[in-house]
Amino acid sequence: MRTTEGRLRQVQLLGDSATAGWITCPVSTIPSPGRYLLGWDADDAEAPLATPLFAAETGLEGFLAAPPLPPSWALGTRVSLYGPLGRGFDLPSIARRVALAALGNSMARLLPLVHSALAQGAALAIYTDSPWSFLPTAVEIHPLQALPEATAWADYLALDLPAASVPWLRQRLNLGEKAVLPCPAQALVVNEMPCGGLGECGVCALTGQKTWKLACRDGPVFEVKELI
């Protein structure tokens, strides 16, 4: 794995007015759904810690980095990129009923799964309280309060989950203390990941079923059964 260079070519608003940005880079650098890159301003010697960048959309010459972007990044910024890193989503090719749910403030990191699910002919339902008016018309959109229904309907569930919400995940899914999820499910745990697994700084540590896990290295996508 090596550091490559990208460039911020365009900024745009996604969903609730959060700023995303198209970054041109080598195709081999583009992260698959759920994986991430560490990015920093190549011309700023005093730049803060690197920013984890997830793809909201991919193209032939780069990817749309999901928000938030560092506020100091402007059009034309040279971005040093390290990765891809971590463990991503594994959408089963046989899945025919796919549910996606954003428990945080953005659907952006789940958007690549929308295209993948529709491409394999799956019915798709999204659970979110954020506005996303540009989704394909084939997608059903439901409020988050209806999320427990998804576990009975879907044969694959993917979540975007703030780290602070992990302790309440069982309640959000309306699962009893010893209940088992009726469908395969994965969750992208959104956390600070400044070292990308290189320094084991522990900032992104989560309590798993039996031991501590680092989101930057063991995730950021986890099997939900590892978290509840």
47-90 confidence digits (pLDDT tens)? 767 899 999 999 999 999 999 899 889 999 999 999 999 999 99
**Which one of 3.40.1000, 3.40.50, 1.10.3470, 3.20.20 gives the CATH number of domain 97-226?**
3.40.50
pLDDT tens for each residue of 144-155: 999 999 999 999
**Could you tell me where in the chain the CATH 2.40.30 domains are found?**
3-85
Predicted model pTM = 0.91
In DSSP terms, 38 is beta-bridged to 52, 82
Output the CA–CA distances (angstroms, integers) from residue 70 to 27, 60, 190, 199, in the order listed.
Answer: 23, 24, 16, 22
Q: Could you tell me which residues come within 8 angstroms of residue 81 by beta carbon, excluding any fewer than 6 positions away?
A: 3, 4, 5, 6, 23, 25, 29, 37, 38, 39, 53
- The label of the residue with tokens 């958007």 reads 111
Please state, in angstroms and rounded to a whole number, the distance separating the CA atoms of residues 29 and 18: 24
The type of residue at 35 is R
User: Which of the two residues, 204 and 220, has the higher pLDDT score?
Assistant: 220
**Could you tell me where in the chain the CATH 3.40.50 domains are found?**
97-226
pLDDT tens for each residue of 151-170: 999 999 999 999 888 888 98
Confidence band for 209, pLDDT divided at 50, 70 and 90: low
Percent over 70 (pLDDT), the chain: 92
Indicate the CATH number for domain 3-85: 2.40.30
* 114-123, 141-150, 195-204, range with the lowest pLDDT: 195-204
pLDDT tens for each residue of 7-56: 999 998 776 667 899 999 999 999 999 999 999 999 987 776 789 999 99
- The label of the residue with tokens 């302790």 reads 167
Rounded mean pLDDT, 135-139: 85
